[in-house]
Amino acid sequence: MRTDNPDENVDASIADTDRTRGPTQGDRVELEHRVERLRARNERLRDGVDDSRRHRLRLTALGFVGLGVLSFGAAFVLPNGQEVLYALAGVGLFAGLLTRSVTGSRFVESGDAERVYATCAANYEAILARRGLETDRWYLPTDDDRVRLFVPAESDDAPRPIEGDTSVGFGEDGLVLEPIGTEFVREVAGTGSGATETPAATVEQLSDALEGRFEFATAAEPAVDIDRGRAEIAVSGSAFGAVDRFDHPVASTLAVGLAEVLERPVRLEVTDDADRGEWLVRCEWDADTGAD
pLDDT of residue 144: 80
pLDDT of residue 131: 84
pLDDT of 140 over the 70 cut:
yes
Q: What DSSP assignment string belongs to 188-202?
A: HHTSSS----SHHHH
Average the pLDDT over 202-208 and give the result.
Answer: 95
158: phi then psi, degrees, rounded to nearest 5: -150, 80
pLDDT of residue 194: 46
Which has more pLDDT, 100 or 183? 183
pLDDT of 230 over the 90 cut:
yes
Q: What is the pLDDT of residues 51-63, one digit of tens each?
A: 566 656 666 666 6
Q: What is the pLDDT of residues 87-97, one digit of tens each?
A: 666 766 666 66
Nearest in space to 183 (alpha carbons), one of 35, 60, 16: 60
DSSP state of 27: H
CA distance 171 to 164: 13
pLDDT of residue 128: 86
Q: What is the pLDDT of residues 146-194, one digit of tens each?
A: 899 999 887 765 666 665 556 778 877 888 899 999 999 998 987 655 4
Residues forming beta bridges with residue 149, ordered by sequence position: 139, 177
pLDDT of residue 292: 47
Which has more pLDDT, 140 or 46? 140
Residues forming beta bridges with residue 138, ordered by sequence position: 150, 267
pLDDT of 71 over the 60 cut:
yes
CA distance 266 to 286: 8
pLDDT of residue 147: 93
Which has more pLDDT, 239 or 8? 239
pLDDT of residue 73: 63
Give the pTM.
Answer: 0.64
Q: What DSSP assignment string belongs to 100-153?
A: HHTSSSS---HHHHHHHHHHHHHHHHHHHHHHT--S-EEEEEBTTS-EEEEEES
pLDDT of 139 over the 60 cut:
yes
Average the pLDDT over 233-241 and give the result.
Answer: 94
Look at strands 174-177 and 147-152 and give their pairing. Answer: antiparallel
pLDDT of residue 22: 54
Residue 282 parent element (H or E)? strand 279-284
Average the pLDDT over 203-216 and give the result.
Answer: 93
Look at strands 174-177 and 169-170 and give their pairing. Answer: antiparallel
Whether the Cβ atoms of residue 78 and residue 70 lie closer than 8 Å to each other? no
CA distance 234 to 184: 19
pLDDT of residue 98: 64
